[in-house]
Amino acid sequence: MRLLSSIATVAILMFATAATCDTLQEVTTKGIILSAQGMDIDVTYTPDGKFTAMDGQVTGAWRIDGEKLCTSSNFEPAETCVAYPKDKKSGDSFDLTSPQGTATIKIK
């Protein structure tokens, strides 16, 4: 009985984190359009933990930490981690607030 309880607990935890991981998986595999201050910025992520934006003018690294996407770049060298909403997929848009301000994110 204890084994079944443990399996159920693990399954619940995996499902609870899967929704956020799905959003971050979509973001990092499909890329985003970040809209802020009247600009639309195309951001592309690669599987090796790198990203580019603004036609290569901005380059950096990314990693997933739970429900947060953590990034650092040549523009912002200090790593910043931002929580993303759950259950988002390609084509969805949502607002994110980070230390740099608020932006609208659209998953490509």
Higher pLDDT, 100 or 92: 92
Q: Give the whole-number percent of the chain exceeding pLDDT 90.
A: 72
User: What is the pLDDT at residue 87?
Assistant: 92
67-99 pLDDT per residue, tens:
899 999 998 999 999 999 999 999 999 999 887
**CA proximity to 71, closest of 42, 108, 102, 43:** 43
Give the pLDDT confidence score for residue 16 in this predicted structure: 34
Pick the range with the lowest mean pLDDT from 13-22, 44-53, 67-76: 13-22
Please, what is the average pLDDT of the chain?
83
Residue 64 binned pLDDT confidence (cut-offs 50, 70, 90):
very high
pLDDT recorded at residue 21 = 61
2-107 sits in which CATH class? mainly beta
Domain coordinates in residue numbering, the chain:
2-107
**Residue 75: C-alpha distances to residues 22, 59, 92 (Å):** 27, 8, 26
Question: 44 near 56, Cβ under 8 Å?
Answer: no
Predicted confidence at residue 43, as pLDDT, reads: 97
Query: Is residue 18 classed as helix, strand or coil in its secondary structure?
Result: helix
Predicted pLDDT of residue 5: 30
